[in-house]
Amino acid sequence: MAYKKGDKIVIKNKPKQDNKINKYEEILKDLSLILSSSKYQEVDKLECANMLLPTLENWFIEDEFKPIKYAKNKLIPLLSDCIEKTTDKYMPDFFEIYKNLYIFCARRDLECFIDYMEWDMPKKVLAPRRNVLKPYVDALQKIAFDSKIEYLIVSLPPNFGKSYILNNFTAWSYGIDINNSNLRISYSYDLVAGFSRTIKSLVSSPKFADVFNQYKLYGGKCFDVDQLDNWHIKNSIAPKSHIIRTREGSTTGERANFAIIFDDLCKGAEEANNITAHEKNYNSWTTEWWNRKANNNVKYIFVGTLWCPEDILNRVKNDREQLSPFVDTDIPYTQITEDGSTILIRTPMLDENGKTTCPEIYSQANAEFIQKTTDPILFSAVYQQDPKAPTGREFADELLLHYNQLPLHEDGTPAYSNGSYAVLDPARKGKDNVAMPIHKHGDDDFYYMVDCIFQQKPMTDLYDLIVDKIIEHTIVELVIENNTDTSLKSLIDMKLKEKNYFLCNIREKYNTANKEQRIKDSRGIVKSRIKFKEKTSYLPNSDYGRYMKNLSYYSFDYPNLHDDAPDASSMMASEIILNKTISKPIPIDRREYGI
């Protein structure tokens, strides 16, 4: 207990310690009681305040995190209160202790680190935008120390300070461990080079050395390799401390042991609807960038502004969601996967009540003006972080109907047909896909796409697979688009009879109408009567996944390399769903009737 003896403040340690309360925490609690009390003189309080940091330093030797948390949450607010209440005589002394508490906390707390690095800046970034940036800062804090978190995906509107926070995070990582190494990738060399200069400047600054005392040895000259693309901190055992590349640059042979950071991989509005550019980014990620890790503890950080559903930010989010679903948290605009491996932050410019989330950057009037004058699809993605299908992509996944499971009656029995319905669109050219979507007809009159064939193979290689799918799903109605091969129906019929399957009625359809016009004419039925599986229930590289990608990427406004999936779904709509002349077949075994 703390008590006053003459003019001295004495801290008397208790003989027994609660297992849950560290001895240093007990001392700090006693000091805090004196500092918050009105019974003590200012000189006595100052003496207590001067004991805070030595106590914290001793505690830090035993535990790197608890004293930081205690100082940040309890002591910094307490010292702020002391500064407000003290006289001019003692204010500078209390303020110096207050500042030193920030320096102490900055060792392991990113928010305090940024606050201290901004201490004397006339125009700060974090402080005026803390309400929107704190979830982002806290997520970076977690990913730095929580081994369970592997991915952080952050999308914010332009100018929120995304890259600024990342620069501070990267510099801070070299204070946490001088041996850390990071790889930063962006679309522009000027952009990523600017990041590199900023991080070097932070690491070389006197303030950085205030927080991480070992850097005082360098006197601001921290690098023995000082190239912009690859620099190395003295005495680090990492081959390179920091590596920058553009998305077009080669990362072969490069390795990062702490974080691989992707910051603004899309150029902006000029690439918003450029599916080829988005696909190239994603393919580089899956084939090259992912492998630039030096160990399995490397963190992957994706930060930027969303431009469309095919933006790599959204693609990686969908990939992570397939492994483990996202769930909401108490933190605004923040989700985490059930397995705790991925944090997702999507902060809009306007909240659910239409109020600006960051008045520092977008005033209410300015935000409303942007909403009125921006294309709705771009506004939804870029400013609201809620990507919608671009113009012309009317089969985008967000616009289709989906199902998690086939419908059931209240008693649990199937509420859909015993038999299935399918169409077959053979490949016409070498790079076309053979497309065969298969559907169940629900009692609710929706058609549920349960399976498909979607492969770039010659028809001769797929005959047996087509027959197997017919039998597996009890297909009772199959429509074949037959513009070239008049023997296909006969061949499939023969193979089915060889396997004693007699339930499938096969029809051939010869199309003369323009294909794009057929797709346009049937799009309403595809979107209103066919239900597709949720993304999380199929693999992207499966036949089903590739079918859905081909369908959802089809655009009426842009050239399409392939239209096999939309053509097949349109044929399903026109030849089966809308064909009123065909009664709903009931599966029978012809052998029972001697036929």
Q: Within 10 Å of residue 104's Cβ, how many Cβ atoms?
A: 24
The pLDDT of residue 389 is 62
The per-residue pLDDT for 295 is: 94
What's the pLDDT score for residue 159? 93
The DSSP bridge pattern shows strands 223-226 and 530-533 to be unpaired
Assess whether pLDDT exceeds 80 at residue 517: yes
Angle at 51 between CA 48 and CA 54, to 5 degrees: 170
pLDDT of 269 reads 77
**pLDDT attached to residue 271:** 83
Report whether pLDDT(329) > 70.
Answer: yes
Task: Report pLDDT digits (tens) over 24-65.
Answer: 999 999 999 999 998 999 999 999 999 999 999 999 999 999
Task: Look at the alpha carbons of 103, 107, 112, 117 in this order and tell me if their dihedral is positive or negative.
Answer: positive
What does each C-alpha distance from 215 to 18, 226, 327, 547 come to in angstroms? 38, 16, 41, 55
| CA–CA gap between residue 190 and residue 186 (Å, rounded) | 9
Q: Which pLDDT does position 267 carry in this prediction?
A: 86
Higher pLDDT, 510 or 565: 565
Task: Report d(CA 158, CA 160) in Å as an integer.
Answer: 6
How far apart are alpha carbons 476 and 550 in whole angstroms? 26
Please list, in sequence order, all residues whose beta carbon lies within 8 angstroms of the beta carbon of residue 188, skipping any fewer than 6 positions away.
246, 264, 267
* Per-residue CA distances from 504 to 48, 422, 441, 576 (Å): 89, 10, 15, 14
| Residue 67 pLDDT exceeds 70 | yes
Give residue 485's pLDDT band: very low, low, confident or very high (50, 70, 90): low
pLDDT at residue 334 greater than cutoff 60: yes
Say which residue the tokens 């297992």 belong to: 19
Neighbouring residues of 492: CB distance < 8 A, sequence distance ≥ 6: 463, 466, 467, 470, 478, 480, 506
Q: Convert the pLDDT of each residue in 146-201 to its tens digit.
A: 999 999 999 999 999 999 999 999 999 999 999 999 999 999 999 999 999 999 99
Q: Residue 282 has what pLDDT?
A: 94
H helices of 473-514, where?
488-498
pLDDT at 17 over 50: no
Average of pLDDT values for 408-429?
91
Contact 79, 94 (CB under 8 A): yes
Residue 274 banded pLDDT, cuts 50, 70, 90: confident
pLDDT band at 5 (very low <50, low <70, confident <90, very high): very low
Q: What's the rounded Cα separation, in Å, for the pair 537 and 449?
A: 13
Q: Is the pLDDT of residue 8 over 80?
A: no
pLDDT at res. 20: 53
pLDDT at position 1 over 80: no
**Residue 522 pLDDT greater than 60, yes or no:** yes
pLDDT in tens, 115-127: 999 999 999 999 9
Confidence at 380, pLDDT banded by 50, 70, 90 = confident
Q: What is the residue-averaged pLDDT of the chain?
A: 90
Nearest to 400 by CA among 578, 247, 567, 530: 530
pLDDT digits (tens, 9 = 90+) for 303-312: 999 888 888 9
- What pLDDT is attached to residue 558? 66
Sheet holding 242-246, edge to edge: 223-226, 230-233, 242-246, 182-186, 259-263, 299-304, 151-155, 342-346, 334-337, 326-328
Give the DSSP letter string of 192-249.
HHHHHHHHHHHHHSHHHHHHSGGGGGGTT--EEEE-SSEEEETT--SS-SEEEEETTS
Task: Dump pLDDT digits (tens) for 215-262.
Answer: 999 999 999 999 999 999 999 999 999 999 999 999 999 999 999 999
- Here the tokens at position 165 are 């926070």
Assess whether pLDDT exceeds 90 at residue 7. no
Share of the chain above pLDDT 90, in %: 76
| pLDDT at residue 552 is higher than 90 | no
- The mean pLDDT value for 304-329 works out to 91
Asked if residue 301 has pLDDT above 90, the reply is yes
Percent above pLDDT 70 for the chain: 91
For the record, the structure tokens of 119 come out as: 């201490």
Cα gap 208→199, rounded to integer Å: 11
- Identify residue 439 by its one-letter amino acid code: H
Give the model's pLDDT for residue 595. 56
The band of 357, judged by pLDDT with boundaries at 50, 70 and 90, is very high
